[in-house]
Structure 1
Amino acid sequence: MFQDISLEELLQKHKEGHTFIDVRSPKEFMESTIPGSKNIPVFTNEERAEIGTIYKQISPEAARERGLKIFSQKLPQFIAEFKKINTPMTVFCWRGGMRSKTAATVLDLMGIHANRLSGGIRSYRQWVVRELEKGDFPPELYVLNGYTGSGKTILLKKLADAGYPIIDLEEMAGHRGSIFGQIGLEPSNQKKFDSLLVEEIHRFHEKPFIFIEGESKRIGKVVLPEFFNEKKEKGVQFFIHLPIEERIKNILADYEPWKYPEKFVEAFQYIKKRIHIPIAKQIEQALQDGDFQAVTYLLLTSYYDPRYEYSISHHSMGEQIMIEATNVDDAFEQLLSYLSNIN
C-alpha cells in the first residue's frame, strides 16, 4: 500500500536523490510545479477538460466513470513510464486528490512503490508563499549592472562555471527584461518563478554572497519579491562598461533576430512612439532590410541607453565598482581579480 507523506518529508527527500512526479495535465505542469519534477499525466489537457465538463454538467459520478474509462486505456503506457525511473518516487496532483491516489494505487498493484504528497502541490505553493513572506536571505548580493549588451548574462554563466554562486533571474523568468526579451523564450508565470527563486534561496542560503543581474523589479510577466528587490538595491553594484561594438555583438549573438524578424517588427511597435520620428523610421527601414546591426545600434543610442542612464540616476545604491573592459572576457578577468582581493 502506498504511503502519504508530508511536505516537510518531501522537501527532505529532495536532497536524497528522489524523483517527484506530477501526474496533473501538461498544461497544469507547465504553469507551475515543484522544481525538478517529471510530468507523467493521468489525463491530457483535452481529457481533463472533458472530464471537468461532465462533472459540472452531468454529475461527479459520471465524471469518475469517464475518467476511469480513459485512464484504463492508457494504463500500459502509464506504467511503462514509471518503470523507467530507478529512484524512490513521490507522486502528486493539485490537492492530493483522486489523480495522485489513482496513480499511487495502480503503481502499488503493479509492484512499483511510490509515496503520495499529502495536500498536493497546493501545500507546496502555500509553503513557497510563506518562505517569501519571511524574507530570510542572509547572503549579500553582488549585482552586475551595465548598458544593454554589456554581457551580464554571459558573465553570470562564466562565474557559475568558475564555481561562484549565481541566481539567473532572467532564465527563471523566461525573459531577458527588454521589450524584445520574450522572443524565442517561454515566459514563466509568477508561481513558477516564485518556486524557482525559493529553490535557489535555499540552495545558497549559507553562502557569503551571490551574483545576480541588475534587473528591474518586473522581469517580463513576473515581479521580484519586495525583500529581494531591496536586498538587490543595497548590494555591491558592479557597473560593466564595454564599447558599443562589443555590446551590439553580444546582443545579436543572444537574440538572433534573423530567426524571428516578424516578432521584432511587432515588438518594436510598442516603443516606436517613444523614439524621435526620424530615428524610428530609420529603425523600421533597417528592420525591413534585415540590417539588425543597424537596428541594434539605433535602439541602443536612441532608446535603451538614455533610459538606463535615467534609471540609475534616480536610484540610491550600495557600494559601486566600475569595470571598464574591452570585451566580456576582459570584464570577467577584472571580476576575478576583485574577488581574489577580498578573499
Structure 2
Amino acid sequence: MNHLLAGLDKLHDFDEIIDVRTPMEYADDHIPGACNAPVLSNEERVLIGTMYKQVSPFEASRAGAALVARNIARHLETTFADRPQRWRPLVYCWRGGKRSGSMTLMFNMIGWRARQLDGGYKQYRRATLDALQTLPRALRYVVLTGPTGSGKTRLLHALRQAGAQTLDLEELAAHRGSLLGALPDAQQPTQKRFDTLLAARLREFDAHRPVYVEAESRKIGALELPAALLQAMHQGECIDVRCSRDDRTRFLQQDYARLFDNPDWLKAQLQRMVGLHSRDTIQGWIALVDEGRREDLARELIDRHYDPAYARSSRSHFTGLTQAMRVDFRPNDEDIAEQALALIRRRQ
C-alpha cells in the first residue's frame, strides 16, 4: 500500500475505514467516513502513557497489550460481528504503529483482507494540508459579495439547488461569519476537522465548471481559511448582491430567528461587541431584545454595525469587484429558485 495518500481516491477501494484511536482523537478529526473502534479508551491511553514515562516502556507495553487485546476482542464480538468473509477494511491510528498494527494483524488472522494505513492519520493530515495548497488553485470561483443581510447565503443555497457548484464555507464552519454568526445550538468543528471537510469538498468539484462561493474574511468564527483558497477567491469573478433596506430588515429577522428565540444567548453575544460600540449602544440593543422588538433591532444592526463595518472593510483584494455584475436580490420572495436560475443564465 505504498504511496496510498498520493491518490486519496484509493481510500474508496476499501469496504470500510476504521480509526482505532481514542474517541477524543477521533472527535478532533478523522478521515471522512471512518468509524471509530478504539483499541484504547481516552483514560487507558493516558494511563499507558504515564506508565511509559514513570515506570518503564516494557511495563507500559505489557499492560497496553492486554488492554488492546481485550478491546479488540470486544469489537470482534460487537462492532464487527456481522462482517462477511471477503470484507476488506483499512485500519489506521496516529502514525500507523502498534494500535492499528494490532487490529490489522488480528483481522488478517481471522481471514479478512485488512490493510494498515502507512503513516496513519499523521500522514493523512499532511496530505490534507498539501491538498489545501493545491486544490483551490485548480478551480474558478464566482464570489458573491454584498453587505450583511442581502441574502448571499440564501442565494448560494438556491444556486446549489439549481445545479450550480457551490462551496458553503459557513456551513462547513458551523458559523455565519460575523460577530453574531455563532450558532446557539452548534459548536464549530476543530481547525483540523474543518480542513478535512474543506479538502473533501474541494475534491468533489469539476474544474471545468465555476464554483460559487460567498465572500469571507480570513477567519470564520475561530476557524482560519487556507491562504491558497483566499487568494484564489480574491482573484475570482465577483457578483455584487444587493437588496433594499426593508428586505434586509425582514431577512435578518428570519435569518437570526434562532438568536431572537434565545434572548439570553443573544444578549451575551451583543455584550461581546463592547469595544466596537459604546456600552450605551449595547444596552440599547439589549433593551430591544428584552422588549421583543426584533424589527427595530435588525434595523439598528444594519445601520449602526453591519453597514459601517462593510464600508470600512477593505475589498480591494477582490480584483474582480470593479467589473462585478450587480444582482438585485429579493431574499424574502417565493421565486428565489427562479432568481438563481436567472443569475446562472445571465452569466452564461
Relative to the length of structure 2, the TM-score reads 0.85
In 2, Cα distance between equivalents of 1:327 and 1:130? 38
Q: Does the alignment pair 1:325 with 2:323?
A: no
Taking structure 1 as reference, are residues 235 and 78 closer, same or farther at Cα in structure 2, changes over 3 Å only? Answer: same
Pick one of 80, 83, 87 that aligns with 1:82: 80
TM-superposed deviation, 1:249: 4.6
Shift of 1:270: 2.1
Question: Does the C-alpha gap of structure 1 residues 109 and 316 become closer, same or farther in structure 2, counting only changes over 3 Å?
Answer: closer
Runs of 4+ in structure 1 deviating by more than 6 angstroms, as ranges, are none
Q: Deviations over 1:208-247 (max 9, x none)?
A: 2101111112112222222221221221212222344544
* In the alignment, structure 1 residue 8 sits paired with structure 2 residue 9: no
Distance 1:291 1:47 in 2: 53
One-letter amino acid of the structure 1 residue matched with residue 75 of structure 2: F
Inter-partner Cα distance in structure 1 for 2:193 and 2:25: 11
Q: Does the Cα contact within 8 Å between 1:7 and 1:124 map onto a contact in 2? A: no
Match of 2:343 among 330, 338, 341: 338
**1:197 matched to which residue of 2?**
198
* 1:60-139 matched pairs, under 5 angstroms: 60-79=57-76, 80-83=78-81, 88-134=88-134, 137-139=137-139
Per mean C-alpha deviation after superposition, the further-off stretch among 139-148 and 238-247 is: 238-247
Separation in structure 2 between the aligned mates of residue 43 and residue 297 of structure 1, nearest angstrom: 54
Alignment size in residue pairs = 340
* 2:24 is the alignment partner of 1:19: no
Post-superposition Cα deviations, 1:251-302, rounded to whole Å, max 9, x if no partner, equal 4544401554333222222212322454322112123445444433322221
Stretch of structure 1 that moved more, 83-92 or 43-52:
83-92
Correspondences of 1:1-343 after superposition (within 5 Å)? 6-8=3-5, 11-16=8-13, 18-79=15-76, 80-83=78-81, 88-134=88-134, 137-183=137-183, 184-255=185-256, 256-258=258-260, 260-289=262-291, 291-311=293-313, 314-318=316-320, 319-327=323-331, 329-330=334-335, 332-343=337-348
For residues 25-48 of structure 1, give each alpha carbon's deviation from its aligned partner in whole angstroms, at most 9, with x where no partner exists: 121112222223222222222222
Shift of 1:189: 3.0
The separation in 2 between residues aligned to 1:84 and 1:320, in whole angstroms, is 57
Distance 1:273 1:60, change over 3 A: same
* Superposed CA RMSD: 2.8
Secondary structure of the 1:35 match is coil
3-state secondary structure, aligned to 2:141: strand
| Matching residue's letter, 1:336 | L
Name stretches of at least 5 consecutive residues in structure 1 with no aligned partner: none
Contact 1:279 1:302 in 2 (8 A): no
Q: Is the 8 A contact 2:260 2:266 kept in 1?
A: no
Residue range with higher mean Cα deviation, 199-208 or 116-125: 199-208
Instruction: Call closer, same or farther: CA 1:104–1:244 in 2, change over 3 Å.
Output: farther
- Identity between Structure 1 and Structure 2 (%): 30
> What do the CA deviations read for 1:83-128 (whole angstroms, capped 9, x no partner)?
4567632111110011111121222334433211011011112222
Q: 1:137 aligns to what SS in structure 2?
A: helix
1:144/1:332 Cα in 2 relative to 1: closer, same or farther (>3 Å)? farther
Give the TM-score taking structure 1 as reference length: 0.86
In structure 2, stretches of 5+ residues that fail to align are none
CA contact (8 A) 2:5 2:124 kept: no
**Residue identity in the other structure for 1:225:** P
Q: Is the 8 A contact 1:5 1:116 kept in 2?
A: no
Amino acid aligned to 1:287: V
**1:24 and 1:41 in contact (8 A); partners too:** yes
Contact 2:159 2:166 in 1 (8 A): yes
Tell me, yes or no, if the aligned pair for 1:188 and 1:221 is still in contact at 8 Å: no
Matches of 1:127 and 1:9, distance apart in 2: 8
Q: Choose 111-120 or 150-159, whichever is displaced more.
A: 150-159
Q: Which amino acid aligns with 1:168?
A: D
